[in-house]
Amino acid sequence: MTDTLITDTLAAIPMPALVVAAGERILDGNKAAEKLLESENLAGMHLLTVLRQPSVLDAIEACRASQAARTTRYLTTVGRQDMTYRVHCGFVRNEDRSGVLVTFEDITHLETAEQMRRDFVANVSHELRTPLTALLGFIETLQGPARDDPVARDRFLGIMANEAGRMNRLVRDLLSLSQVEAQERIRPGESVNMTDMVDSVIRNLSPLAEASNVTIKQDVPAEPVKLAADADQIRQVLMNLTENAIKYGGVDGTVTLSLSVMDKDPALRAPGVRVSVRDQGPGIDPIHLPRLTERFYRVDSHRSREMGGTGLGLAIVKHIINRHRGRLKVESELGQGSVFTVILPM
């Protein structure tokens, strides 16, 4: 290959690529490689001046010695983001010259997805293990020391029912999450009357509200507001948000559900419906807001568990709203309560 052909070939490779000749001298590198290795002109440079990761140097050397392909990883930081590249070294030869073609494939997104999967499995196992350990402990006690103690038995059975209930809610929310994820690419098509929906959610949750002496108010237009949506899923969104407002808003508080229609919603730049759920609770510190819809993210884990929370409610909400191509807006300040607003296109 002539050197211009090498330069043109490297330029045509859609990822950082360079050719290392004998003596660890870089024959040439494309623009993407220069950017990755922060060098203005790679041609003619010694490899060690731009690349110091031993695994990559070893792979290049091994590729040259064996004349066979090698792969390894290159870890770096771009800006403030950690990046992972899969480095592929291929032996290239042209008459009396030979070299190693090194390409860098960005696999950061794969690594991130894999890490998320590992975290999710670890979280689920942890969440299930806690109630399960409690159940096993009480079963053992009931089989042994508390066998003939009816008072203890009743108390332990009560706790066991609670723990089993927690596992049940967790499994229900996990199934719900996976169902919502599976449907995420299917456009919802039912016609849903949102005014009726708000009304039915409030009716459904009134026993829960009464138990905490919470008043639920609604502020909805008199005429029906219809949109194309998945009725069950929208009900779940409003149920989860209102349930949270009752749970976290505190005893004796007021929860307000408001519905409004906009010809041109600023968030959607299109006609939209807004449903907001407002509570007068302790509010949420702004540092938590960006992570609130992550699976199992809780501001106060103890309080969430005490309230029977699974930490999945808002993750489900986010997925459903994504499916509807809507937005979720959370406004909150410590001591000022919270407002969760669902914005749906009409």
CB nearer to ligand ADP: give 18 or 339.
339
Question: Sheet harboring 70-78: ordered strands across?
Answer: 26-29, 17-20, 97-106, 81-94, 70-78
Q: Segment 306-335, which members bind ligand ADP (CB under 6 A)? A: 309-315
CA 267, CA 320: separation in Å to the nearest integer?
Answer: 17
- DSSP code of residue 25: B
* Residue found under tokens 């792969």: 71
Position 294 contacts ligand ADP (CB under 6 A):
no
Return the residue of 74, 338, 343, 345 that touches ligand ADP, per CB under 6 A: 338
Residue 284 Cβ, how far from ligand ADP at the closest point, in Å?
Answer: 5
What character string, x for contact with ligand ADP (CB under 6 A) and - otherwise, covers 195-234? ----------------------------------------
Report the sign of the C-alpha dihedral through residues 161, 166, 171, 176, in that order. positive
- Return the number of other C-beta atoms located less than 10 Å from residue 310's C-beta: 23
CB nearer to ligand ADP: give 249 or 345.
249
Position 174 contacts ligand ADP (CB under 6 A):
no
Position 89 contacts ligand ADP (CB under 6 A):
no
Residue 228 Cβ, how far from ligand ADP at the closest point, in Å?
Answer: 26
Position 281 contacts ligand ADP (CB under 6 A):
yes
**197 closest CA partner among 253, 263, 241, 254:** 241
CA 84, CA 75: separation in Å to the nearest integer?
Answer: 5
Residue 123 Cβ, how far from ligand ADP at the closest point, in Å?
Answer: 13
Residue 71 backbone phi and psi in degrees, to 5: -130, 150
Which residues are near ligand ADP by CB under 6 A?
A: 240, 244-245, 248, 279, 281, 284, 292, 297-300, 304, 309-315, 338
